[in-house]
Amino acid sequence: MSVFVAVDQIDKVFPLTGGGQYVALKGIDLQIKKGEFVSLIGHSGCGKSTLLNMIAGLDLPTEGIVTLEGQRITKPGPDRMVVFQNYSLLPWRTVRENIALAVNSVMKDLPAGERKGIVEQHIDMVGLRHAADKQPGQLSGGMKQRVAIARALALRPKLLLLDEPFGALDALTRGNLQEQLMKICEENEVTGVMVTHDVDEAVLLSDRIVMLTNGPESKIGQILEVDIPRPRKRMEVVEHPSYYSLRSEMIYFLNQQKRIKKIRARKTSVVARHGLEKVNLDIGFVPLTACAPLAVAKEKGFFTKHGLDEVNLVRETSWRGIVDGMVGGYLDAAQTPSGMPLWLTLGGHENKPLPTVSALTMTRNGNAITLCKRFYDQGIYTLADFKKMLLDSPAQQHRMAMVHPSSMHNLLLRYWLASGGIDPDRDVMLKTIPPAQMVVDLQAGTIDGFCVGEPWNIRAAMEGVGFTVATDLEIWPGHPGKVLSVREDWANAYPNTHIALVKALLEACQYCADPANALEVRQITAQREYVSTDISYIHLGDPNSAVCSLDQPMREYAHHLFYGDGVNRPSRTEHLWHMTQMARWGDTPFPRNWVEVLERVCRVNVFSTAARELGILDVKYTRGAIKLSDGTTFNPDDPIGYLQDLAIKRDISIAEVILDSRPRVAA
């Protein structure tokens, strides 16, 4: 279908009393097809109604244009009818008279009998025949809104615009009216745009849901396609497989916008002090045992010691939240999976490269692969057992979870499966869920296993839900786990702050690695502000066992490495391995200019400066060759040849990655 309504790069600026201006909307670009129903959703003040008013012609954009069937909208017209929340009925006129007033005004060229027929048709359309001669004061809120909808539709508009039409109604009335509106729109092929705060209403009514970011300068943050077939029934929609994922997507977006608003409200201008360009930092983390260095740096004063006086640790529930913070620029730095700096740099997020750098490996190891307890009960103890089970039940779909495409969890799980002859995209189904959701989903039976960092493997075993079938020490001992990531433009803008941050966290890593501090580190990490769990689930390492034990109780300790020979210095060889694996599975292309990419991402010089200033001169910096569980040794001299020799892989894309090197305003 061709474009029916086009919103073309519009800005809306309001002058402020006393001078200045408020930019309400910035760069809004939206196309709506004929017969499509689109909802606009976002927090109060994001410009939803302002955008609706510009489509209606009640207001004009400061920049850009809005068109209907190719004609520029410059004023209101009967081809665009608006239904407001407050009904806007004349109280001294009856239902029939309120509708007739609009029809007679707009359709005065039609014969009186035909106009009367249109009025009566629309009274029946909204089910108000019994109340046709009643005045608004005699009607319920839902009935008044039906009159407003009938009046709008009676004019046979090309476009129906609704501004929170059901917001003031009780739940039962709202539900009935929503179903009536759907039926009317489908039968009459009405094109609609609706402003709403109700996520369930948006899923029920819409073909697409347009989510707006916070103001000022609100933008379209995301557009969701609603793939639920029509006609829709309210009670049937909730049973559709897409319903809860769409609903969750909207709630996540709205919650993120709320959190961004709080962070921005708290943020002050850049504060320089102690010879540092910036001392007030927001650093993101996900509640895992591996966040211990951040928690210790905060609680033991290492940030303050190195001049970072105002550090706020921002607790995200998922790595997606970290990505949003890095991309949006409201996080200065973050604890991330080891592959995320490369993934962002190579355009893993929305195919838009965001140069990101890492100058510190904060942890190694600490991951494991857990399967549901029922597999253990069936005698499945190894990868070979798991593969045999898959071959014996080809019709059954088995679901495995990981936390993010760039994470070592994803890459280790895929490598482990592929080393056993299991294609991770064809023989099983992989899904991305937040770490804290793993055990719950395993218990509910929506996944069959997962690869995640601690404490979730330990917790699954201790609660009798799952068992550790393989630790990361069995796949790649000493692999990088979590790294410190900052945007490249941030690192360039605040070089001394970057070194100070690496120093504070490197010293915290030393503290975490000291066995004398183990109990205190566990206590700090378990606190509500960090992992928020019982200390019995927090383990920093068990030097006595490298392989999981299947004896009762089935408990497996994490093998976190926080500090030591070759632990903390970023390794270009390891980044290159990440690069090959992300290309292997089609997450990012393998860059033809991979040497340049590695030099941009892996900031060895920043680490070396930080270590020298701390007086750390006696540790070895390299860990030697990368040797994996299948007996292979990674060859960094020929990464493309290595990729081509892999038996199980996707079609590998090789492309030049254009990295923006222009200076930008730092976050």
pLDDT per residue as tens digits for the range 134-148: 888 888 777 887 788
Residue 20 near residue 190 (C-beta atoms within 8 A):
no
The pLDDT tens digits for 209-238 are 999 998 888 999 889 999 988 888 888 888
**Cβ neighbours of residue 127 closer than 8 Å, sequence gap 6 or more:** 146, 180
User: How far is residue 179 from each of residues 7, 188, 199, measured CA to CA in Å?
Assistant: 28, 14, 16
pLDDT tens per residue across span 181-212: 787 778 778 888 989 888 988 999 899 999 99
DSSP single-letter state for residue 43: S
The length of the chain, given as a count of residues: 667
Q: Which domain holds residue 451?
A: 367-475
**CATH number of the structural domain spanning residue 431:** 3.40.190.10
Q: Is residue 352 part of a domain?
A: no
Residues 562, 568, 572: CA angle, nearest 5 degrees: 140
- Here the tokens at position 597 are 């990419």
Bigger pLDDT: 559 vs 490: 490
The string of DSSP letters for 354-389 reads: --EEEEEEEEE--EEEEEEHHHHHTT--SHHHHHHH
- For 53-96, the three-class secondary structure string (H helix, E strand, C coil) is HHHHCCCCCCEEEEEECCEECCCCCCCEEEECCCCCCCCCCCHH
Count of helices and strands (H, E) across the chain: 25, 22
DSSP for 468-499, written as a single string:
EEEEHHHH-TT-EEEEEEEEHHHHHH-HHHHH
Helix (H) / strand (E) containing 280: strand 280-285
Is residue 23 situated within a structural domain?
no
Question: How far apart (Å, rounded) are the C-alpha atoms in residues 521 and 517?
Answer: 6
Q: What is the pLDDT of residues 315-364, one digit of tens each?
A: 988 898 899 899 988 899 999 999 999 999 999 988 889 999 999 999 99
pLDDT of 149 above 50? yes
Q: What SS3 class is residue 305?
A: helix
Structure token pair of residue 568: 């903390």
What distance in Å separates the CA atoms of residue 144 and residue 134, rounded to the nearest whole number?
11
What pTM value is reported for the model? 0.77
- pLDDT of residue 173 exceeding 80: no
Identify residue 344 by its one-letter amino acid code: L
d(CA 240, CA 402): 24
Overall domain count for the chain: 1
Q: How far apart are CA 478 and CA 237, in angstroms?
A: 48
Helix (H) or strand (E) holding 402: strand 399-402
Q: Is residue 551 in some structural domain? A: no
Structure-model confidence comparison of residues 171 and 228, the more confident one = 228
C-alpha distances out from residue 104 to 70, 96, 155, 565, 613, Å: 28, 12, 10, 86, 83
